[in-house]
Amino acid sequence: MGGTSSGSNLRDFIYLDFSESFNTRHLTWNRISSDFLPENTGSISVKGGKDNDTIFFFAGRSPNENSRLVYEFGPQTNSWRISPLQLNITINTGSTGVVDNKGRMYSWAGYYPPRNMLILDTIEFNWKFGNIISAPTLEAWYGASLLPDQMIIYIGGYQDGAINTLDQVYIYNTIKDTWSNITTSGNIPSPRMGLSAVLGLDGRRIIIFGGENEYDFIPANESLYVLNLVNFEWYIPTISGKIPESRISHKGDVIGEYMVITFGRSFPIGRGNYNSTTESHILLLNISNNEEYYWTDNFEPSSPPLLPPPSKSLPPGISSTEFPPPKHSVSSGNGSVTINRSIISIIVVSLIGIALLLFGLCKWNKSRKSRVNTSSIPHGCGIN
């Protein structure tokens, strides 16, 4: 949807059918009328609505005078309409829309000031600004993804007039409306913006691809990294298949067992990375096996994988509702005490066990009441 080609903004609206097998070298694109839309670039589109079946489109910085309008597309009817959800501000270019499980879209900052956390409710049709206390100076062209605990992670991007390093990542808590930053370790990727970031199938790792490094392209062998969300350690995964050239300003998503990279561009032109005349607009990385990812030209549809219950997918001792306290995290609140949830679990289980033991003793002693002196029964059993 939209974008830029040869210096001109577009209003094209096309789709690719992932319900059937296909080869990326022989793609069949389907076009839907988009005359209703303004020409746009740097726009945002997310899925939401009451039945989670509507595409919401935010035109961003469009030359059209109606750039603050919100548009809705119904895939069942292939029709557009102007949404009741309207803004009195313009969604900034270079931002990324992330939707939580309650249909609320979060759009952080953008290339032009001011920096805001814009929260739009696609079900109740209202919007507000989120908290920016302790928020990063991160501005635009970052990678962002929703985590299983309803946190949003922000990686890389453009910050304070320079490309952001990846030795820090930023977390926005959608439930508490707070910010924190985390120091990462391991094989830390080079600074980059214009990258994509998706959540792995097991919910315990973030996969990033591509980007631009200090106004130069990212080499193909450095384009793919993984961040372990348990210990926030970076590593380069084992990869097979033909490694594609890197690209920037693309989109990344997860469909079935694949990380799907769509479109994008190379930078600088002629420096050896993504060439749209020789490479497919679609890249497929099979991420079903964390021991080895592989690039492929062939897509095979499958049922969307279900994340295992958090208590089973995370190592012992880690809460099922949130990740362990990260190293060097900085809270945006006024200070709090972190309690180890595994210790709480042990205490609770122990108390339940003691209660059950006492209950069993009471039942046993009741049956012997006629034969045993009640003074020998443990106190607290409720026997008169």
Q: Residue count of the chain, please give it.
A: 384
* One domain for residues 146 and 126: no
Q: 31: Cβ–Cβ under 8 A, 6 or more apart, which residues?
A: 12, 13, 14
Pairing verdict, β 14-15 and 8-9: unpaired
| 77 and 169 fall within a common domain | no
Residue 383 lies in a domain: no
Q: Do 363 and 270 fall into the same domain? A: no
Which of residues 113, 130, 147 is at a domain's end?
A: 130
Q: Are residues 330 and 359 in the same domain?
A: no
In this structure, is residue 382 part of a structural domain?
A: no
Q: What is the CATH number of the domain that holds 254?
A: 2.120.10.80
Are residue 141 and residue 170 in the same domain, yes or no? yes
pLDDT of 241 higher than 90: yes
Cα 59 to Cα 56: distance, rounded to the nearest angstrom: 10
Position 101 in a domain: yes
Q: What is the pLDDT of residues 151-182, one digit of tens each?
A: 999 999 988 788 999 999 999 999 999 999 99
**3-7, 16-20, 228-232, 306-310: the lowest-pLDDT one:** 306-310
- CA nearest neighbour of 200 among 160, 240, 175, 237: 237
Domain match, 139 and 92 both? no
Residue predicted with more confidence, 63 or 315: 63
At 345 the pLDDT is 52
Residue that finishes a domain, picked among 102, 130, 158: 130
The two tokens of residue 31 are 């076009």
Q: Are residues 324 and 362 in the same domain?
A: no
Residue 379 has pLDDT above 60, yes or no: no
Same domain, 71 and 155: no
Sheet bearing 239-240, strands edge to edge: 239-240, 293-296, 282-286, 258-262, 251-255
pTM given for the model:
0.76
Same domain, 147 and 110: no
Best CA proximity match to 44, nearest among 108, 139, 113, 114: 108
In a domain, 371, yes or no: yes
Q: Tell whether the model's pLDDT for residue 265 goes beyond 70.
A: yes
Shared domain for 97 and 219, answered yes or no, is no
By three-state DSSP, how is residue 355 classified?
helix
Q: Is 242 part of a structural domain of the chain? A: yes
- Decide which of 295 and 90 is more confident: 295
- Same-domain status, 264 and 329: yes
Look at residue 352 and tell me if it is in a domain: yes
What confidence score (pLDDT) does residue 94 get? 80
Domain that holds residue 174: 133-338
Instruction: Show which of 130, 152, 175 is a domain's final residue.
Output: 130
Tens digits of residue pLDDT in 295-325: 999 999 986 544 444 433 333 333 333 444 4
- Residue 369 C-alpha from the chain's centroid: 63
Check whether 357 has a pLDDT greater than 60: no
Dist. CA 62–CA 282, nearest whole Å:
26
Most confident range, picked from 57-66, 262-271, 346-355, 371-380: 262-271
Q: Is 163 a member of any domain? A: yes
Total tally of structural domains belonging to the chain: 3
Q: Is the pLDDT of residue 289 over 50?
A: yes
Same domain, 107 and 198: no
The answer to the question of residue 257 being in a domain is yes
